[in-house]
């Protein structure tokens, strides 16, 4: 007599811990905000994508604004750490410009969604730190480096804040362009940035290369 087919038993899905659920919502929100922006993303969509109910999102973050604020804060800290780390190494000013450019481009390469979120404007970002305010903070750190360089060349060091904004702004805007273009390679973009920043239009090299290879 043939045996009766056994009922397939599925192992119950393991419930996420509160910490795991929070990280899942952050990952889901990060992807949606990067693609659709703050205004274009709803709590309903975040919850649906994460496979939870809307109250779960409110429980962890108080709403869309809270989730967005945490994501922006994380990205600001990640990018700030990369840029300040590049500046903290010291050394020749040209090498510092090179490292800063590579740090920004490297962050874009490894955290594309995060960078897209930072360069967008939103009411929440204005409260937690916009990309422009972040770049302004980096420019402030660059001022003393440029002031020393200006002194050595017999130029007015009081113009250092202005040149710091120009230099860091140039790197940041190039990064925004490269986010979508992705051409040429990261090292080549950095080399051309340093070429313009260090040599100026009048002294640009035909085939710029990086100090670090």
Q: How many domains does the chain have?
A: 1
- pLDDT at residue 134, as a whole number: 78
Contact 115, 107 (CB under 8 A): yes
User: What CATH number did the domain enclosing 166 receive?
Assistant: 1.10.357.10
Is 53 contained in some domain? no
Q: Determine the average pLDDT of the residues in 31-59.
A: 96
Is 2 contained in some domain? no
How is residue 87 written in tokens? 């500046």
- pLDDT at residue 10, as a whole number: 56
- pLDDT at residue 109, as a whole number: 93
Is 14 contained in some domain? no
- pLDDT at residue 124, as a whole number: 56
Could you tell me the residue range of the domain that residue 132 belongs to?
Answer: 72-203
Is 21 contained in some domain? no
Is 42 contained in some domain? no
181 vs 161: CA distance, rounded Å: 30
Is 96 contained in some domain? yes
> What is the value of pTM for the model shown?
0.79
Is residue 151 predicted with pLDDT exceeding 60? Answer: yes
Is 9 contained in some domain? no
Is 55 contained in some domain? no
């Amino acid at each position: 007599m043939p045996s009766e087919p056994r009922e397939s038993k599925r192992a119950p899905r393991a419930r996420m811990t509160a910490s795991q659920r929070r990280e899942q919502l952050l990952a889901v929100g990060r992807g949606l905000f990067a693609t659709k922006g703050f205004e274009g993303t709803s709590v309903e969509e975040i919850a649906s994508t994460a496979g939870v109910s809307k109250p779960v999102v409110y429980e962890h973050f108080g709403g869309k604004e809270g989730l967005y604020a945490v994501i922006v804060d994380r990205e600001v800290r990640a990018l700030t750490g990369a840029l300040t780390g590049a500046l903290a190494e010291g050394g020749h000013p040209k090498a510092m410009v090179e490292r800063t450019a590579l740090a920004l481009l490297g962050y874009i390469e490894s955290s594309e969604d995060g960078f897209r979120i930072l360069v967008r404007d939103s009411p929440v970002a204005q409260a937690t730190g916009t990309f422009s305010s972040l770049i302004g903070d980096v420019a402030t750190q660059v001022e003393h480096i440029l002031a020393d360089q200006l002194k050595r060349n017999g130029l007015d060091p009081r113009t250092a804040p202005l040149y710091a904004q120009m230099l860091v702004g140039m790197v940041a805007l190039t990064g925004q362009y490269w986010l979508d273009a992705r051409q040429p390679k990261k090292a080549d973009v950095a080399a051309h940035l340093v070429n313009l920043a260090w040599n100026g239009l009048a002294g640009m090299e035909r085939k710029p290369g990086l100090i670090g290879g």
